[in-house]
Amino acid sequence: MNDQQTDKNFLYRHYQKCRTYVSSSKELCLYADEKFRHSMQVVGAGNYLLKNEKGLQSWTPEQKYLGWLGCLFHDIGRFKEICLRCDNKDLHGANLCKYDHGEFSYEILKAEPQYGNPLLLFPVRHHGHLDSDFFTEEGWLKASPAEQELMKNLFFLIKDADKTANFYLFKRHPEYYGALICGTEEMDSQASPKVLESLTRHELCRNADIASPLDRILRILSWVFDLKFAASFAFLHNLGCIEAMLKRIREHNTDNKSQEMIEKIIRNFIKENINTTNIKGKIL
């Protein structure tokens, strides 16, 4: 029998250990607090998708439990990242590329016999990566066709739940745009040409192309192109999450022409995908 409270306690112990380790840093304590809350919010988003996405409704209780675990533990590696940032005096994440929290999560779970299921491990490992990284993972390639299908959908579930939870967070708490995305910089600016090109092609914005504070918000907005399930689009549409983000971008975009283009691209994309999946039969 699955004991979800035991699983929650496992996450909580990693959070508390991290919180104690970085207790001298107010910034990192707040970040740890947010990551624990985020994990629970992703569980809520995952439960919504499991109930409302047609392709997931037929899953067995054990399959749904794996999905629940993936949502709960996807960011458990963040607590190791936060401790390393404390060691490196990297309070604001200036060198985030040094810390692959998905890999950290994978390592933590792999070391625990009760969580060492490859069906869980590899989706968690790659939830923050491009789809192509997951589909070239040795653990995926060695799996049977049936295991691959389940693993793929677990991967998509975790990714969608993660992103929808973040979109909802930014709608409810717009102050996070400044605190988590732009830091102390002035947010009023324009989008860079490369970021606008990515949006036009319906692609995730590359970190290497970020050249302005507005680009950082647009990078988050571009996550909408990586959503897979119709229920995710419906969730964001019904709660006005994307419109809230577009409003925030409008307040800080100093170029009206590019703003009109951005809003048209995003609204059309949502409209096209709200009643269908965004997988489109290809590996990105």
Angle between helical axes of 26-52 and 61-73 (0-180°, round to 10): 160
The model's pTM is 0.91
Higher-confidence residue: 219 or 92?
Answer: 219
pLDDT at 181: 59
Taking only the tens place, the pLDDT of each residue in 102-129 is 999 999 999 999 999 999 999 999 999 9
**What CATH code would you report for 4-163?**
1.10.3210
Report residue 225's pLDDT band, with 50, 70 and 90 as the boundaries.
Answer: very high
Mean pLDDT of the chain: 90
What's the pLDDT band for 187 if we cut at 50, 70, 90? Answer: confident
d(CA 92, CA 173): 19
Residue 134 near residue 155 (C-beta atoms within 8 A): yes
**Domains of the chain by residue range:** 4-163, 183-273
